[in-house]
Amino acid sequence: MSESLSITLTQQADYQFLIDFGGDLQPLLTDEPPPLGGGVGPKPDHMLQAAVGNCLLASLLFALRKFKQEPGTLTAQITSTVDRNDAKRLRVLGIQVDIRFEAAASGLEHLDRVLAQFEDFCTVSQSVQQGIPVAVTVTDGDGQRLK
């Protein structure tokens, strides 16, 4: 079950690129922050963070709903560490994803099973993880750290 995905980026001005996802999806403008660009859109690092976080939240929600559990609103704070490598080139060295949901863990069934496997079904984070460490925590609505 192979899938081929294609998007088109077109330079708008300097470091601004319009991303066309095709179909009925709205295009997205990206940009580098000053001094290179104008900072009028997310930069590529932000897009990577968003993709990792979005995929993990979708995987967690899917896993919970598979057991007919409603976690309430899901949120994620994604922090990446960007620093120079041995060749003095900027690289994303690590990504930390802190997931939170509204419901109390005590009201959710099969949570241990969900937490043990939801990351494995996230295409983006598991792909990124082959080159960049991705650490994930999960906290419930009562502030209890579950993972």
pLDDT in tens, 76-121: 999 999 999 999 999 999 999 999 999 999 999 999 999 999 999 9
- Residue 14: per-residue pLDDT: 95
User: Structural domain tally of the chain?
Assistant: 2
- Asked if 33 and 58 sit in the same domain, the reply is no
Using CB atoms within 10 Å of the CB of residue 55, give its burial: 0 to 12 exposed, 13 to 18 middle, 19+ buried.
buried
Q: Supply the pTM of this predicted model.
A: 0.91
How far is the C-alpha of 102 from the C-alpha of 32, rounded, in Å? Answer: 34
- Residue 127: per-residue pLDDT: 96
Q: What is the dihedral of CA 115, 117, 120, 121, to 10 degrees?
A: -90
- Asked if 93 and 117 sit in the same domain, the reply is yes
Domain that residue 66 falls in: 44-139
How far is the C-alpha of 16 from the C-alpha of 124, rounded, in Å? Answer: 24
Q: Which of 70, 51, 65 is nearest to 122 (CA)?
A: 51
How far is the C-alpha of 45 from the C-alpha of 52, rounded, in Å? Answer: 11
- The H or E element that residue 66 is part of is helix 44-66
- Asked if 55 and 101 sit in the same domain, the reply is yes
